[in-house]
Amino acid sequence: MPTRTPLMAGNWKMNLNHLEAIAHVQKLAFALTDKDYEAVEVAVLPPFTDLRSVQTLVDGDKLKIRYGAQDLSAHESGAYTGEISGAMLAKLNCTYVTIGHSERRQYHGEDEPVVNAKVKAALQHGLTPIVCVGEELSVREAGNHVGHTLAQVDGGLKDVPAESVASLVIAYEPVWAIGTGKVCGEEDAQEVCGAIRGRLAELYDEETAQRVRIQYGGSVKSGNVAKIMAQPDIDGALVGGASLDAEEFVKIVRFRD
Ligand code: PEP
């Protein structure tokens, strides 16, 4: 069975300007050691305007922190005012890009066809998509959380070949747990993450399903991360609010301690 290196990614959302980004990454770089990087992959997902500063710091100091963007355009180039292309992110040496975050779905009307087009655009430029899926509270209360989330997986990955799927990341983020302080119980999170892996095995094959990393996201903190990471189908965390505090994010990275 393939081993999956946990991925701890900090989604800064619309926080930290490019100067604050430098200070923040410097704090992380100062605290994190080779031992941390051997055990866990660490990534930050700053706003677009910070990426060049983060790249300069990472390249200049040969940091092992990876970075990526919070979104990209489905289009290649041209008359799409305000959009950022996969090629632009690849040129900045981004590793990751989150796609279909619930805030993009909620405030920008992103649906499965949009997510699917963005996944393909990211892959075309060698970026690793972190495909975000997860149900709203009403869906969970109605007991449809697994079906709802699997439909998002199906739609987001439509016509994406197995060799591309194997390297990507899926983030299960129940919408009601994002930024609310309400954490999904670890067994509930495992139920959905296990179902996602099961669906990947159905859509592709067991080998592919075993290679995909599945993160949990939703009010992850140093105090709850260990229980979440103990679940067999959870391979990392997508961390919003808590990733803005460097000390707290380092504790999350060191979830085994
Ligand atoms: C997120 O932004 O993806 C997220 C999970 O946020 P928070 O950790 O603040 O709930």
The closest residue, in CA terms, to atom 2 on ligand 1 is 240
Report percent pLDDT > 70 for the chain: 99
Residue 35 CA to ligand 1 center (angstroms) comes to 26
Q: Give the strand pairing for 7-11 and 236-239.
A: parallel
Question: Does residue 3 have a pLDDT over 90?
Answer: no
Angstrom distance (rounded) from CA 89 to CA 58:
15
Q: Is the pLDDT reported for residue 1 higher than 90? A: no
Q: Is 101 a catalytic residue?
A: yes
Q: Is any ligand 1 atom within 6 A of the Cβ of residue 241? A: yes
Q: Are 87 and 52 in contact (CB under 8 A)?
A: no
Residue 83 known to be catalytic:
no
The yes-or-no verdict on residue 2 having pLDDT over 80 is no
- Extents of the domains making up the chain: 7-253
Q: Is 236 near ligand 1, meaning CB less than 6 Å away?
A: no
Q: What does the pLDDT average to over 19-45?
A: 97
Atom 6 of ligand 1, nearest CA residue:
240
Active-site residue (options: 101, 112, 145, 186): 101
- Tell me, in angstroms, the distance from the centre of ligand 1 to residue 181's CA: 9
Confidence of residue 230 (pLDDT cuts 50, 70, 90): very high
User: Out of 103, 110, 135, 173, which one is annotated catalytic?
Assistant: 173
**Residue 182 confidence (pLDDT):** 83
The CB of 179 under 6 Å from ligand 1? The reply is yes
- Report residue 37's pLDDT band, with 50, 70 and 90 as the boundaries: very high
The span from the CA of 100 to the CA of 116, in Å, is: 9
C-alpha 120 – ligand 1 centre gap (Å): 24
pLDDT digits (tens, 9 = 90+) for 164-174: 999 999 999 99
Nearest CA to ligand 1 atom 8: 240
CA atoms within 13 A on the CB side of 32: 28
Ligand 1, atom 7: closest residue by C-alpha: 240
Distance 178 CA to ligand 1 centre (A): 5
Cα 104 to the chain's mean position, in Å?
13
| Fold type of domain 7-253 | TIM Barrel (3.20.20)
